[in-house]
Amino acid sequence: MKRRSLGLLAALGLLLCGVGCNGDHKGGETKVYKGIEAEVREINPDDPKQVDSLKQMVQERAWKQTRKIVEILHSDDEEASQKAMGLLMELGDLALTPLLEASEEASPEARVRDLKQVVGIQLGNRARIVQVLESMLSDKTTLPPKMLPIGMEEIPPPRRVCDEAYLLMRLLFALEGEETRFANKDAFLEMTDEDRDKEIERARKTKKWINLMEEIPY
């Protein structure tokens, strides 16, 4: 298994060389990375055409080689297809969009196989997100206040890292409509820090998301 992983990683390095190895090295950076840094700094965020053009360029650099691997995956060469699948499993997130794009024209069997891979990637991402948010639930650092819109008189209550983590987890897991979600968010933020702590602890223990607009024992 270790030998297989090393082989796949070596192949990955060769296949993706065009993404990160374009140009001579100077000071530990490539021309590609120096180029994108300059382009990001110079971009006009109010120019949608410029933003879209840069977005497409970055996407093309990221997915160019992965799309070729997906083509091999869908080829008639069974041995090469198996190798491509193994490499795509190692690529993770980078394989998600190319797999979704190619699945539209794939055979029913290949489409099912591709979507199993996509769902696996998504579940892995979800688990990683939850792990990070879980650690943030214990962080009571107060965040700096945001810039208020001109004319806004009511100052919103200060938020802590744990408050934001709770709201993000609620967004991720609670099955509620947009109106209910915003109402519950407001209800949570209007609580005292002590009551927010109690609600965070309750949610951590029960893994259930209650309607905060109803009466709660705080």
Q: Which of 99, 125, 151 is the last residue of a domain?
A: 125
Q: Are residues 117 and 148 in the same domain?
A: no
AA identity, residue 30? T
User: Which amino acid does the sequence have at 108?
Assistant: P
Q: What is the mean pLDDT of residues 196-216?
A: 90
Q: The dihedral of CA 46, 48, 50, 52: what is its sign? A: positive
User: Residue 8's pLDDT is what?
Assistant: 43
Confidence (pLDDT) at 217: 61
Q: What is the pLDDT of residues 98-156, one digit of tens each?
A: 999 898 888 898 899 989 989 999 999 999 999 999 999 999 999 988 776 676 667 77
Residue 117 maps to a domain = yes
Asked, for residue 130, whether it belongs to a domain, the answer is no
199 and 171 together in one domain: yes
Structure confidence at residue 152 (pLDDT)? 65
Identify whether the C-beta of residue 33 lies closer than 8 Å to the C-beta of residue 52. no
Percent of all residues in the chain with a pLDDT value above 70, rounded to a whole number: 80
Q: Which amino acid is at 53?
A: S
Asked if the model's pLDDT at residue 81 lies above 60, the reply is yes
pLDDT reported for residue 2:
41
User: Are 77 and 163 members of one domain?
Assistant: no
One domain for residues 82 and 160: no
Tell me whether residue 214 is in a domain. yes
Among 5-9, 62-66, 157-161, which is the least confidently predicted range? Answer: 5-9
3-state secondary structure the chain: CHHHHHHHHHHHHHHCHHHHCCCCCECCECHHHHHHHHHHHHCCCCCHHHHHHHHHHHHHHHHHHHHHHHHHHCCCCHHHHHHHHHHHHHHCHHHHHHHHHHHCCCCHHHHHHHHHHHHHHHHHHHHHHHHHHHHHCCCCCECCCCCCCCCCCCCCCCCEHHHHHHHHHHHHHCCCCHHHHHHHHHHHHCCCHHHHHHHHHHHHHHCCCCCCCCCCCC
Q: Are residues 18 and 103 in the same domain?
A: yes
27 and 97 share one domain: yes
Q: What is the pTM of this model?
A: 0.68
- Of the two residues 12 and 215, the one the predictor is more confident about is 215
- Classify the phi-psi angles of 197: left when phi > 0, otherwise alpha if psi is within -120 to 50, otherwise beta: alpha
Task: Please state the domain count of the chain.
Answer: 2
Q: Mean per-residue pLDDT for 168-175?
A: 92
Tell me, yes or no, whether 113 and 155 share the same domain: no
Q: What does the pLDDT read at residue 200?
A: 96
Give yes or no for residue 79 having a pLDDT over 60.
yes
- Residues 108 and 32 occupy one common structural domain: yes
Share of the chain above pLDDT 90, in %: 43
- Mean pLDDT of the region 36-63: 85
How far is residue 199's CA from residue 143's CA, in Å, rounded to a whole number?
19
Query: Which residues 6+ apart lie within 8 Å of 203 measured at CB?
Result: 166, 169, 170, 209
Q: What is the mean pLDDT of residues 29-44?
A: 70
Q: What is the mean pLDDT of residues 1-30?
A: 43
- Minimal CA–CA distance to 132: which of 170, 79, 173, 169? 169
93 domain residue, yes or no: yes
142 in the same domain as 66: no
Domain that holds residue 156: 137-218
